[in-house]
Amino acid sequence: MMRSMFSGVSGLRAHQTRMDVIGNNIANVNTVAFKSGRVTFQEVFSETLKGASSPNLDTGRGGTNPMQIGLGLGVNAIDTIMTRGSVQRTDNPTDLAIEGEGFFIVRGGSGDSYKFTRAGNFILDRLGNLVTESGLNVLGWEPILNPTTGEYEFNSEAELVELNLLNKQIIEPKATTRAVLQGNLDAGYQEKETFSVPITIYDTLGNAHDVKAIFTKGTTTQNSTTWTVSFTSDSGQINKTATLTFGSNGRLTSTENIVELELALNGNRGVENPKFTVDLSNITMYASDSSVKAKAVDGYKAGTLSSFSIGSDGIITGIYSNGEQQPLGMIALATFSNPAGLQKVGDNLYQVTTNSGDFSKAVKPGVDGAGMLNPGTLEMSNVDLSKEFTEMIVTQRGFQANSRIITTSDEMLQELVNLKR
């Protein structure tokens, strides 16, 4: 009789724990990237009144099963359900949702341990660091300039650093080294008739210089036509010309169609004379309006950071006042062999445990199942209210049933007491 009462007490405790978890799930239904919990029960040990016996072949008596009385139940596990929540659009450039199984990597300071989160509601602090709402730095990699290609790259083997978006407030000017002219020269032009194409180039200080390419039609034979190209600028002198020869099909037959130029600047400007090439190999001569334009001219003046964007690949790109764009950093992600083994530490953060798998290496978004990023969105809670309310009703009934065990056992004990009058 006392066993039943203690079984009822264990049932009350277990169902109370389950109700605590359900209540926490419902309370966090609107918490960004919250992962719901689940309680499972297990019976505790049983008292054996009689052990099992095997069949007796000599007497023909059959075997018997053990006689046991259970002594209640306990909590088997409180699991974290790591399924992804729905995505909600916010259009905030620093809000990020992960479309895979990865986690953002954050840290409070250089001496702090790594923490992990699915909540991508990030902000910029006063210094321009990308941080969580609680002030932890979001980690990633800085761009590395490849001197061979001139492109920025990211090394996922490099050390993780705090991502600061204001370290590169100014983009340095780049001198023009190459200009490509493309289009058509009108075959109907008369001899010595001209067509001008403006080109804007930049020196090493970012000063703009207007250069004009002047195409002058030359002599025409039965099978070819020549044009002379000269260059002028108000900033200085360019003492070089080029000759283009077109065949009867309107295409270039001349082979030296890339011209190396030097602009001899007027006066002392504290900068070297700009040296650059002009590619004329993409010009045709048909009986159509002249349309030659400068299609590709490298070089630009200095610019200041005006805005930024975060791509699905995790690259943070700075947009500058001169129209140029430059990567500022890349957000790193972490993956685990058993994400449910991570331990919650508050503020939507997790830390590594012995059962989650070690964090040994960060990965780029889209690698090793980490998933790409979805900028301007947030992952919401994965709590299913209809399921939680159903679980709450079942838990309430279970609690009531265990309460009935205690009251019934108490009434039976009272009957025993009343036997002696």
pLDDT in tens, 339-390: 999 999 999 999 999 999 989 889 999 998 999 999 999 999 999 999 999 9
Percent of the chain exceeding pLDDT 90 equals: 78
Q: How far apart are CA 302 and CA 376, in angstroms?
A: 29
Q: What was the pLDDT predicted at 412?
A: 85
Mean pLDDT is lowest, of 55-59, 211-215, 285-289, 395-399, for 55-59
Contact 296, 180 (CB under 8 A): yes
- What is the mean pLDDT of the segment spanning 15-19? 95
Residue 1 has pLDDT above 60, yes or no: no
Residue 225: exposure state from Cβ atoms within 10 A (0-12, 13-18, ≥19): buried
- What is the mean pLDDT of the segment spanning 271-294? 94
Q: Please count the other Cβ atoms lying within 10 Å of the Cβ belonging to residue 220.
A: 14
Q: What was the pLDDT predicted at 92?
A: 95
Of 94, 212, 116, the C-alpha closest to 160 is 116
CA torsion angle 234 240 245 250 (round to 10): -30
Contact 379, 118 (CB under 8 A): yes
Q: What was the pLDDT predicted at 410?
A: 83
Mean model confidence pLDDT for the chain: 92
Contact 237, 264 (CB under 8 A): yes
pLDDT bucket at 110, cuts 50 / 70 / 90? low
pTM, full prediction: 0.81
Q: What was the pLDDT predicted at 109?
A: 73
Residue 231 has pLDDT above 90, yes or no: yes
Of 106, 11, 100, 75, the C-alpha closest to 331 is 106
Domain ranges of the chain: 2-44+70-79+384-418, 87-165+307-379, 178-297
CB neighbour burial string for 18-29, b if at least 16 within 10 angstroms, e if fewer: bbebbeebeebe
Amino acid (one-letter) located at 269:
R
Q: What was the pLDDT predicted at 421?
A: 60
Instruction: Return the residue matching tokens 């341990």.
Output: 113
Of 408, 401, 399, 374, the C-alpha closest to 22 is 399
pLDDT bucket at 216, cuts 50 / 70 / 90? very high
pLDDT bucket at 3, cuts 50 / 70 / 90? confident
Query: What are 168-177's pLDDT values in tens digits?
Result: 889 999 999 9
Residue 254 has pLDDT above 90, yes or no: no
Q: How far apart are CA 257 and CA 250, in angstroms?
A: 15
Query: What are 186-208's pLDDT values in tens digits?
Result: 999 999 999 999 999 999 999 99
Query: What are 305-352's pLDDT values in tens digits?
Result: 999 999 999 999 999 999 999 999 999 999 999 999 999 999 999 999
Residues present in the chain in total: 421
- What is the mean pLDDT of the segment spanning 273-278? 95
Q: What was the pLDDT predicted at 46?
A: 83
Instruction: Return the residue matching tokens 């991502």.
Output: 163
pLDDT bucket at 409, cuts 50 / 70 / 90? confident
Residues in a beta bridge with 105: 116
pLDDT bucket at 6, cuts 50 / 70 / 90? confident
Name, in order, each residue with C-beta under 8 angstroms of 217's C-beta and a sequence gap of 6 or more. 185, 189, 190, 191, 192, 193, 194, 225, 226, 227
Asked if the 178-297 domain carries CATH number 3.40.190.10, the reply is no
